[in-house]
Amino acid sequence: MEPRRPTWESCWETAGQSDIGLRRANNQDSLAIWIANTEEQWKQRGHLFVVADGMGAHAAGELASKMATDLVPLAYHKLLDRPPHEALAQAVRDANDQIYFRGMASDDFRGMGTTVSALAALPHGAIIAHVGDSRVYRLRGEVIEQLTFDHSLVWELRRAGQFPAGETLSYIPKNIITRSLGPTPEVQVDLEGPFPIQPGDVFLLCTDGLSGQVRDEEIGKILSILPPKEAVQTLIDLANLRGGPDNVTVIVARVADAGCPPPLSPCAGQARAPCWLSWAMWLAAIALAAAGGYCLWAGRKALAVGLVAMAIICGAAEKLLGWRLRATVAPSLERLGGAPYARKECRPDLEFVTELARITRQLREAALEADWNIKWEEFHEFESQAETATGKQKYADAARAYCRAISFMMEQLRHQQVKEGDPPPPFMR
Q: Which strands make up the sheet holding 342-345, listed edge to edge?
A: 12-19, 248-255, 202-206, 135-140, 143-146, 342-345
d(CA 33, CA 16): 8
Q: Is the pTM of this model over 0.95?
A: no
Residue 128, Ramachandran bin (φ over 0: left; ψ between -120 and 50: alpha; else beta): beta
> Backbone phi, then psi, for 345, in 5-degree steps?
-75, 140
Question: Is residue 427 packed enough to be buried (19+ CB in 10 Å), middle (13-18) or exposed (0-12)?
Answer: middle
Is 300 buried (19+), middle (13-18) or exposed (0-12) by CB count in 10 A? middle
pLDDT at 334: 82
Per-residue pLDDT of the chain (429 residues; tens, 9 = 90+): 444 445 655 689 999 999 999 999 999 999 999 999 998 999 999 999 999 999 987 789 999 999 999 999 999 999 999 999 999 999 999 999 999 999 999 999 999 999 999 999 999 999 999 999 999 999 999 999 999 999 999 899 888 887 766 666 667 787 899 999 999 999 999 999 999 999 999 999 999 999 999 999 999 999 999 999 999 999 999 999 999 999 999 999 999 876 565 555 543 333 344 444 555 554 555 554 555 454 555 665 555 445 455 656 555 555 555 545 444 444 455 899 999 999 999 999 999 999 999 999 999 999 999 888 899 999 999 999 999 999 999 999 999 999 999 999 999 988 775 544 455 555 554
Cα separation, 261 vs 173, whole angstroms: 46
Whether the bond between 340 and the residue before it is cis, its omega within 30 degrees of 0, is yes
What are the E-state strand segments in 238-277? 248-255
Task: Convert 37-92 into a string of H (helix), E (strand) and C (coil).
Answer: CCHHHHHHHCEEEEEEEEECCCCHHHHHHHHHHHHHHHHHHHCCCCCHHHHHHHHH
What is the pLDDT, as a whole number, of residue 281?
54
CA distance 81 to 379: 54
Whole-angstrom Cα distance, residue 344 to residue 224? Answer: 13
Residue 258 neighbours by CB under 8 Å, 6+ apart: 199
